[in-house]
Amino acid sequence: MLSRVLALTLCLSWLVPTCSPEDGTSRSAQVREEQETSSAKEAATESAVAAAPSSPQPLSQEEDASLTARAEEPGPEVSGGALSNLHLTYVVIALAAILLVLLIK
């Protein structure tokens, strides 16, 4: 029975069209277009790497000062692991439930 279903599925797969309904292009044309796009991106990347300076440039005094200020005072968007009482309560309840399950076994 399983082999008949597999054979029917394989036979019906030949009936599926190989073009996309939205633009009417075949799958091989889409693959070829994607390859051309990726090769164009690679060429652009290579030209950007070739245009880049060979050695890194030192930071200006303004850039250095701004980075130093950001490092000293990160601001309110960095809350580094602060847990509220609600979260701590959930952790304690979860640990107690785990301990209870282990003790009952």
Instruction: Encode the chain (105 residues) as per-residue pLDDT tens digits.
Output: 767 777 777 666 666 666 555 555 556 666 677 777 777 677 666 666 666 666 777 888 898 888 888 777 766 666 666 778 888 899 999 999 999 999 997
CA neighbor of 93 nearest in space, from 85, 58, 75: 85
* Run of H or E including 102: helix 85-104
Determine the Cα–Cα distance for residues 53 and 57; give it in Å rounded to an integer. Answer: 8
* Angle (CA) 74 77 80, round 5°: 75
Instruction: Output the pTM of the full model.
Output: 0.27
pLDDT at residue 98, as a whole number: 93
Backbone φ and ψ for 37, nearest 5 degrees, come out as -65, -45
